Amino acid sequence: AAASDAKLNYFKIHLASKLKPRTLIFANTYHDFLACRAALRSAAVDFVSIHEYSRGSEISRARSNFFHGRVSVLLYSGRAHFYQRLRIRGATTTIFVSPPDLPVFFPELVARMFEKAAARENEKEENHGLHENSQYAALILYSRFDALAMERILGADRAKSAALHQTADDVFIIDADIQQENSDDGHHSS
């Protein structure tokens, strides 16, 4: 419980008030979801949320408002993703408050950013490089107790060699900036 509280405190103190537009926040547990919602409300962030008890009309409205930029942040619960597997469009930053339980959730949630990056690369080539580089980011907060979950997501070797930053509260962060550059496959992770 202390490790989960440390991640939520880090989110509340360091991230909630400094979120960029088009940020998707993935809260794996309902407890994390409620804590993030409270932190976003106290920071006066304009956001919408989708959880497992959201009605179909609420989900459609939230996804549309987020995609069209009418709200800058979407809070999304892990159980909602487990049951509905929604494809969230419009995110340029994805924050995982804790690693997802199922490793397939990570690529499902960041895949839209990569698809968008590939589409922009194709537009850039067609328009002779007139579009500026696009930057996407994924951030995962985790504690030492989440090491196995991180191995399921990144693989054992990458989890061990990933650039880690430990905060004073025993919260580790993997911050992957995804910079769109010219490469063979149209994607570049740094």
Are 114 and 159 within 8 A, CB to CB?
no
**Which of 31, 39, 38, 35 is closest to 15 using CA atoms?**
39
- Answer for the pair 96, 141: CB distance below 8 angstroms, yes or no: yes
Q: What is the pLDDT of residue 62?
A: 97
Comparing 36-45, 53-62, 94-103, the range with the smallest average pLDDT is 94-103
* pLDDT (tens digit per residue) in 76-101: 999 999 999 999 988 999 999 988 98
Whether the model clears a pTM of 0.95, i.e. scores above it, the answer is no
Q: What is the pLDDT of residues 96-116, one digit of tens each?
A: 998 898 989 988 888 767 666
Q: What percent of the chain has pLDDT over 70?
A: 72
6: exposed, middle or buried (Cβ count in 10 Å: 0-12, 13-18, 19+): middle
pLDDT tens, residue by residue, 128-181: 433 344 578 888 888 878 888 888 888 887 777 664 555 555 556 665 544 333
Q: Residue 117: pLDDT above 70?
A: no
